[in-house]
Structure 1
Amino acid sequence: MPRFISPLVLALVGAILFGDGVYIHAKAWFAQVLLERAFDRSVATGQTVKPWSWADTWPIARIEVKRIGASTIVLAGTSGQALAFGPGHIDQTVDAGEHGIAVYAAHRDTHFRFLRNVAIGDVIEITRRDGRHFRYRADSSAVVHFDASGIDPATEDAELVLTTCWPFDAVASGPERYILHATLVGNGG
């Protein structure tokens, strides 16, 4: 009898782990559906729409890099809960399209995984929840220490920074950040 218990226990543990992995991916996929729906309703109504009733954040923008097929919804703030579901807008920075620097941060292994494929010169499109659309061109990137970003919030230009942890392939968190800088090149209204 003990011979059969060990394979049975291993099979049960494997099934539980597999189910947990499926659940996490299903939850993430469903959250993205709810975020897209809430963002679209925000644009249509001009009102802040939370993706689910207990959310502590809401969609404020959509980032698209069409050359590589990337699209993600940006959330208000950078709390741990917000970053679990999408990029967050750093509170102390301006909205996209305004004079100053709009800064969005996200995890390197999920919502900003696509940053590794963005090239200098690529167009980054931002649609805000008020329906206004802005086009930025990626003009530089850097790897910096987390407390030495070099971002100048007092700039008079309209700029965008997308930031995530570095290196992209790391398993553990570290002190370095990848910063992609872009400058406003067009306003679609």
Structure 2
Amino acid sequence: MKKVAIILFLVGLSFVFYAGVQLKSNKQSEKTALVHAHKILESSDITKPPSHLSFQSGQTIGVLQIPTIGKELPIVEGIDEDALKNGVGHYTGTVYPGQKDQILLSGHRDTVFTGLDKLKTGDPIIVEMQHGSFTYGVKDTAIVDGNDTSIIHSTAPNEMLILSTCYPFRYIGNAPQRFIIYAEPMGDFE
């Protein structure tokens, strides 16, 4: 019985070690992508948004700032696992800031979007891209089923920023729901 307990303890310890290595690796990838995003923004010439922006999956495209919870995160194109290891993913089927429609950004609840549930109505969310800096204010939140894709739809001519992550936040394993934040433009960038 003592050998079984020791074996189980070692297996459990190896799982914890593996999870720690994965978390550290993801954090390093996120940090590298953020440095790259800042270089892109520093070298860009801010003009009116082009009518057609195009990025490759996994490409770093900007920076997401959520001051209320102290987050500064790289935005990458796409929402596949490889993209989400580097930061917040932009859902390719939606537009970019300044294009007067829906922008959907997704991220993991246990890495980039920890603390997202602390946001309140009116809190600012800033998206910086090569074509400008765009500030949104939280309008509402919702919890939807994990398979619910009804949140992805055109909002034209109104611009709406949607942040999406798994829910509940402290759930172990694949969470069954999604936590959604709806934010509208603040100020005038029209």
Same fold (TM > 0.5): yes
Name 2:53's counterpart in structure 1.
Answer: none
Q: How many residues align?
A: 178
TM-score normalised by the chain length of structure 2: 0.78
Task: Say which SS state the counterpart of residue 168 (structure 2) adopts.
Answer: coil
Gap runs ≥5 in structure 1: 48-54
Name 2:100's counterpart in structure 1.
Answer: 99
Q: Show the 5 A alignment for 1:104-183.
A: 104-128=105-129, 130=130, 132-145=132-145, 146-183=147-184
Residues 124-154 of structure 1: per-residue CA shift (max 9 Å, x gap)? 11111x0510110000111122325344314
TM-score normalised by the chain length of structure 1: 0.78
Q: Distance in 2 between matches of 1:26 and 1:176?
A: 26
Q: Distance in 2 between matches of 1:109 and 1:178?
A: 13
Q: Distance in 2 between matches of 1:188 and 1:157?
A: 13
Larger Rg: 1
Distance 1:154 1:175, change over 3 A: same
Moved more, 150-159 or 60-69: 150-159
Partner amino acid, structure 2, of 1:108: R
The CA deviation at 1:11 is: 9.2
Name 1:72's counterpart in structure 2.
Answer: 73
Q: Distance in 2 between matches of 1:178 and 1:126?
A: 19
Q: Distance in 2 between matches of 1:91 and 1:148?
A: 14
The answer to whether the 8 A contact 1:135-1:187 is kept is no
Aligned sequence identity (%) = 24
Match 2:36 to one of 30, 38, 47: 38
Distance 1:169 1:26, change over 3 A: closer
Distance 1:14 1:167, change over 3 A: closer
Task: Say which SS state the counterpart of residue 85 (structure 2) adopts.
Answer: helix
Q: Distance in 1 between matches of 2:4 and 2:107?
A: 42
Gap runs ≥5 in structure 2: 46-55
Moved more, 17-26 or 167-176: 17-26
Residues 88-121 of structure 1: per-residue CA shift (max 9 Å, x gap)? 1011101022200100011112111221111111
Partner amino acid, structure 2, of 1:81: D
